[in-house]
Amino acid sequence: MKTMLLVLAAAGSMVMAGGVGAADAGADLAKAKGCLNCHAVAEKKVGPAYKDVAAKYKGNKDAAATLTAKLKDGKGHMKIAASDAELKTLVQWALSAK
Ligand code: HEC
């Protein structure tokens, strides 16, 4: 019986890891790149909360391109040292914040 429960618990955590993979990748990267020193998802720190950024750009189809350019070229934001793929992950994660 105990073994059965362990098997079920292991299977359950695998399913969950799959489900939140994209959000985790964004959050981990934001931490690794130091974004979270100035930003948080839900509250204003040095920079705006990502959920406020997401709200501000809601319905703006150029949002991802605008923000990626801002971070990449350091226009209106400090320049971020990250690859294009990393910036894409970060921006998409920030824009999906709730
Ligand atoms: C040294 C502090 C600092 C760090 C580190 C930092 N930011 Fe910011 N960020 C700010 C401030 C201040 C603002 C608000 C002013 C502005 O838009 O530049 C901001 C604004 C933003 C915005 C909203 C821009 C807009 O047009 O509304 C996004 C998105 C963002 N940051 C993403 C990031 C990401 C992703 C990282 C990490 C790769 C990061 N920031 C790291 C300080 C920081």
Q: What is the pLDDT of residues 13-47, one digit of tens each?
A: 544 444 556 678 999 999 999 999 999 999 999 99
Cα(54) to centroid(ligand 1), Å = 12
**Which residue of 77, 84, 92 sits with most ligand 1 atoms within 8 Å of its CB, as the best mutation to test the pocket?**
77
Cα(19) to centroid(ligand 1), Å = 27
65, 63, 80, 98: which is closest to 29 by C-alpha?
A: 80
| 43 within some domain | yes
Band of pLDDT at residue 51, cut at 50, 70 and 90: very high
Structural domain total, the chain? 1
In the predicted model, what is the mean pLDDT of residues 70-91? 95
**Phi-psi label, residue 86: left if phi above 0, alpha if psi -120 to 50, beta otherwise:** alpha
| 58 within some domain | yes
Please give the residue range of the domain that contains residue 80: 22-95
Q: Output the six-digit token pair for 83.
A: 């690859």
CATH number of the domain at 77, please.
Answer: 1.10.760.10
| 52 within some domain | yes
Integer Cα distance of 78 and 82 in angstroms? 12
| 1 within some domain | no
| 14 within some domain | no
Integer Cα distance of 84 and 98 in angstroms? 24
